[in-house]
Structure 1
Amino acid sequence: MTTDDPAARLAGVRDAIARAAKLAGRSDQIELIAISKTHPAEAIEPLIAAGQRVFGENRVQEAQAKWPVLRERHPDLRLALVGQLQSNKAADAVALFDEIHSVDRASLIAALARAMESGRRPDCFVQVNIGDEPQKGGCAIADLPGLLAEARAAGLPIVGLMAVPPLDVEPAPYFALLAKLARDNGVAGLSMGMSGDYPTAVTLGATHVRVGSALFGARA
């Protein structure tokens, strides 16, 4: 069901998460990240009013343009960076975001570690290129143990893994693989699942789901 009412959309997504969690026998907390990239503050405010508290952006510069004012009005909001991060934007990202879901290479780990000397320490997820797609960010599966070791040695607060399965294929095997990689490498968080597949991701262990169009409607 689609609706123009942001509160109703939010309630529908939360209900779908709860149903999927029940199906999987889960009682743990699942974080819903409302992906607000390309959406202006006036489209975000109704979701905040409806009780949503965690939002996600793809680009540091876009987030810098709209979130300082929103957070001044709503100091309890959390902000997640879900898009690729250039090393030269690491300090800006650490200053603005509470979660960074796209740690995927040694140079970025080094830049984030330097930026975190400021005292701000956002939760970090290592992004895995789960479908081995050349156009996508994320480290190769074979490189994951080494990259995690490097991130931990640098003092990054690594809380989980993130992945985006290939488009137009059944996502469940990719979600299951990411969950196995997390278990094998001793991390608890799983950032996986988007508007088209987040209930499946929840049944397979997602702790963070990144939902955009199901909450905001289709982007222009």
Structure 2
Amino acid sequence: MDFDAVVSSFEEDADKRIKGALSSYIYDMPQYPGDPVEGGIHYARYVKLPTSCIPQKQPPLLKQFASVVKKYIRAESSFFDLGPGPDWSVTRNTIPALRVLNPLAYFAVDIELTFTEEACRVIEREFPDMKVQAIAIDFHSKVLPYPQSGVSVVWYPGSTLGNLPSLPGQTFIENKFVADHLKLLHRTTSFFQTAMSSTLDAANKGALFAPSCDQVRLVILPGKPRITQG
């Protein structure tokens, strides 16, 4: 998929830019006076902060805490890759995580079938003994299958948040899979804080690993915690 083409499609119409995907808000620069889309300015400032944790920083962070994380990840764990993106993204961001966690099964989940198939091909090539499955659904509104094991690893890259609609409903929060396996804490009143500061509540029962970063990236939950919105 051509990301530039997708983003540019929202630039053609101001209304689409406001009501389209969040990616334009997060990464684009203003196109005209008064343009509410100015995420590119804020993002450029954000990534320079020492406390920021963009996707490129995630694999080293996971590797740093590998010994702690692996205590809770058994060999039969299931790894759900929500929004894996194109093959280069899988190679750069997902494979390092899989090398650390070594799950039994890998699930590529994306609304675009092409992305799920690409991700599975890359993973099969790198991990020939790992079970892989492509799931082409909108995981923000559709129920995901339950894991094949008692421990779930949910890989939720920041770019996935950018693909959310700019005016989302409650379908994502009400998703049964999410309700059972994720707890998202939204400490925000403005859009930019919502997009860039949504974090996992580390105090949630069952939350075993919650790196401090700009968005939820890795969640390991053996239980079924509730979702809390703030």
Q: TM-score range by the shorter chain?
A: 0.3 to 0.5
- Whose strand fraction is larger, Structure 1's or Structure 2's? 1
TM-score between the two structures when normalised by the length of structure 2: 0.34
- Whose helix fraction is larger, Structure 1's or Structure 2's? 1
TM-score between the two structures when normalised by the length of structure 1: 0.34
